[in-house]
Each structure stands twice: as C-alpha cells, then as structure tokens.
C-alpha cells in the first residue's frame, strides 16, 4: 500500500527518483519501528501528583508544574535532576527532553521579569523556547513514605523510623472543622433545633441516647464548618434553657502514617559512631563527610538513635533527642548547640543527602508510570561544593 502511494505521487508530480526513495525509506521506518511510549503532560503531572501528593509539601515551598509549554504537550523523555542548572538544561536539550523533574524548584522566589540577564530567567526562556516542561516536588518528596528521607535512612543499616514532624491529612475525615455536642430533654426541643439547623449549610448531625442525673435524654453530636459554627452557637445561646452539657470541640486533621518531615531512626543494634560514618559514606558514595563530636563523645561512642533530615535540617532536628544528627547542612551555632548537648553531628553537604535518591526514584517512577515514558538521570547534576 505504501509503495503504490509513492508511485502515485511520482506520476502526478514527477518527483526525482532519489527523493521518492528517501520518502519511501522514511515511511518504511515509521511502519517497521515500534512507536516510542509517551504520555500527555497533564496526564503525567496527575500521575506524579498521585505518586506523592503536593499537599505534603511545606506551605513556604513552590512545588508542582512550574513551566508548562502550550498544550497539547507530549512527554516521551523525562529527565531527573536534583538541581536544574544551565549545564543540566543544555544536557536536557541535547537529550530531547520533554519534561524535567527537578527536585529543587528552579523558580522559588517570584520573577519580576523574564530576560536573559540572570541564569534562572534564562532557564525559563530556554524551557519555553524548546517546549520543555519543568516540574518540582521538593518537600512533597521529603515527607513521602517512599521519599528522600526514607532513602537516606537506608544508609544507616537495619532500623525502624518515624517522622519527626508527622504530616496531617489534607482534609478532615468528616464535614467541618468543629464539633458541637449537647443534651436535649424532650422531642419538641429536638424538633425546634432540627428545624433551625435545616437552614444552616455544611452541618452533619448524629444522635444517641444518654442519661443525665438518671433522666433519659438525647445527646446530639454536630459537625460543622467555622462559618456554620457561628450560627449554631447563636441558636443555642438564644435557647440555652432547652439544651444542657454543651461542648464545642476543635477537630484536628488526622496524622498520615509514615509521612512527614525528617526521620527518627532507632537502629536494630547499637554500633560505634565510626561504623555509622562508614555506612553513610558508602550509601552516599562520598569519600569525606564533616563531623562534630558531641561533648564527651569519641569515634567509639555507641549510636542507637539517629535523627536525620535530607538537605538543610536545622529547623527539623532542633530539640530532638538522639545520639546523632545526620543532615546536609546546619548553621554553625546549631552545630554548637547540638554538640553541647552531647549529640554528634554529621554534615554531608546539602544536595549530597538528596541526589542519590534519584536513582531509586527512576525505577520507582518507571513502574508507577507503567514505562510509558523514557526516564533518564542527569549526568551533569552535582553538588556545587567539593573538597580540595
């Protein structure tokens, strides 16, 4: 069929035989070669959000799809990098990348203009000109049960771990943010209340039998929003003689299992600080780390509990009781404070505690995305600091 189509074209337009041959070879290649897998950008972003909900990110962070080419945009190649530098961008363009997943957001502070003046502005320009999307998960991956901090904890050896600052669910398990409970003596009072509540939106009610001083009563439990609470309380105040034992509770969002910032790790067996150092260096593939010994501690001191936080851990680790703090960077004074409390501190440089996670992420994401896109790791991405 393809050959006859080419013949018809050659007869009608009388194209040169060499041109026809090249066209035929191109058509033959398209038919014989299996099509490369791909995903629509919006579908892919939705899948990435399912992998680690952006609601887990800290409220100060800038996460999600940061640069979007005009739709529709097809993604065949996804590049993973810890930091999106200009060198990594050139690598991405050479690899015909359609989407860059940069762990750190290259756009953090608002841009007042997009010119060729600064390197971050140039990244945005190059991404849009070459139709390359940019997505950043950052602290959503820090908090995730299958994220950066869990990966970092694997370098300690066998241990159990819990989040230092657990994440809360993005929404309440029931309607509203508050619960109001009270007793009602009789059916007419109950009817009056139910009639009033029908006019208030965002309210859910359950009732059950209760006894008060030997008297059978109805206990009402009402969940409502902050706005609805004002109207409920106003009604109860106006009819306070009908209702007894009123309580107003502020509801809390439930904690998410194994999710949150930092990890408090308890080793299966105590080991020397020197042993932990070697394990960490091996896990992060580093020849050196920085160490601050806690007061009265030596390399042979035993370590049982490790508090860790990938990246910059001062705010997460501060005040946590542990034998060792493990993070990328801490301020000079925070290190002094920890050491004064007898806590050892290991610093590995900021991105060295994060970058190795991308190798694990590559395989995990491939399975999550059902191998619909080609995922590659940046070879140009590296920590800006080195020991000389």
Q: Which residue has the tokens 């601050």?
A: 292
Angle between helices 226-238 and 187-197 (to 10 degrees): 140
Contacts 24+ apart (CB under 8 A), 247-250: 247/180, 247/181, 247/182, 248/178, 248/179, 248/180, 249/178, 249/179, 249/180, 249/181, 250/177, 250/178
Residue 81: phi, psi to the nearest 5?
Answer: -150, 150
The answer to the question of whether 383 is labelled as a binding residue is no
Strands (E), 103-254: 133-136, 159-168, 178-184, 203-212, 215-224, 243-250
Our CA dihedral for 127, 46, 149, 67, rounded to 10 degrees, sits at: 20
Helix axes 2-13, 17-32, angle to 10 degrees: 160
Q: Is 178 annotated as a binding residue?
A: no
Coil, strand or helix: which one is 98?
coil
Is 98 marked within a binding site?
Answer: no
How far, in Å, CA of 115 to CA of 113, rounded? 6
Give the residue ranges of DSSP H helices in 206-267.
Answer: 226-238
Handedness of CA 366, 369, 371, 374 (dihedral sign): negative
Can you read off the two tokens belonging to residue 149? 């901090």
- Is the previous residue joined to 72 through a cis bond, with omega within 30 degrees of 0? yes
Q: Cα–Cα distance between 326 and 307 in angstroms, integer?
A: 6
Closest to 77 measured CA to CA, from 380, 354, 357, 365? 365
370 is in an annotated binding site: no
Q: Which residues are annotated as a binding site?
A: 104, 142, 350, 354
Q: Which residues are annotated as a binding site for a divalent metal cation?
A: 104, 142, 350, 354
């Amino acid at each position: 069929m393809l050959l006859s189509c080419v013949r018809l074209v050659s007869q009608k337009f009388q194209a040169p035989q060499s041109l026809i041959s090249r066209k035929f070879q191109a058509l033959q290649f398209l038919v014989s070669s299996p099509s490369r897998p791909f995903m629509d950008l919006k579908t892919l972003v939705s899948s990435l959000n399912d992998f680690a909900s952006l609601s887990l990110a800290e409220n100060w962070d800038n996460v999600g799809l940061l640069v979007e080419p005009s739709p529709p945009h097809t993604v065949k190649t996804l590049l993973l990098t810890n930091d999106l530098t200009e060198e990594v961008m050139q690598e991405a363009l050479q690899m015909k990348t359609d989407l860059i997943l940069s762990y750190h957001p290259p756009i953090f502070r608002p841009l007042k203009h997009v010119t060729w003046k600064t390197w971050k502005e140039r990244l945005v320009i190059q991404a849009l000109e070459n139709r390359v999307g940019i997505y950043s998960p950052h602290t959503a991956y820090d908090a995730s049960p299958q994220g950066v901090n869990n990966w970092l904890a694997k370098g300690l050896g066998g241990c159990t771990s819990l989040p230092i600052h657990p994440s809360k669910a993005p929404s309440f398990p029931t309607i509203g943010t508050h619960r109001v409970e009270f007793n009602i003596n009789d059916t007419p009072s109950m009817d009056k209340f139910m009639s009033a509540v029908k006019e208030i939106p965002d309210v859910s009610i359950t009732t059950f039998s209760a006894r008060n001083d030997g008297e059978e009563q109805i206990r009402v439990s009402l969940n409502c929003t902050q706005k609805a609470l004002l109207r409920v309380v106003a009604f109860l105040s106006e009819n306070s003689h009908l209702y007894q034992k009123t309580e107003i509770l502020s509801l809390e969002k439930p904690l998410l299992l194994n999710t949150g910032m930092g990890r408090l790790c308890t080793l299966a067996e105590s080991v020397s600080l020197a042993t932990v150092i070697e394990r960490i260096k091996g896990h992060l593939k580093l020849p050196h780390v920085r160490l601050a010994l806690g007061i009265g501690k030596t390399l042979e001191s035993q370590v049982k509990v490790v508090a860790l936080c990938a990246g910059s851990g001062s705010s997460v680790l501060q005040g946590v009781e542990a034998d060792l703090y493990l993070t990328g960077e801490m301020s000079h004074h925070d290190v002094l404070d920890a050491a004064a409390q007898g806590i050892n501190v290991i610093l590995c440089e900021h991105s060295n505690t994060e970058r190795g996670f991308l190798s694990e992420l590559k395989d995990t994401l491939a399975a999550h995305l059902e191998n619909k896109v080609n995922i590659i790791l940046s070879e140009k991405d590296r920590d800006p600091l080195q020991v000389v």
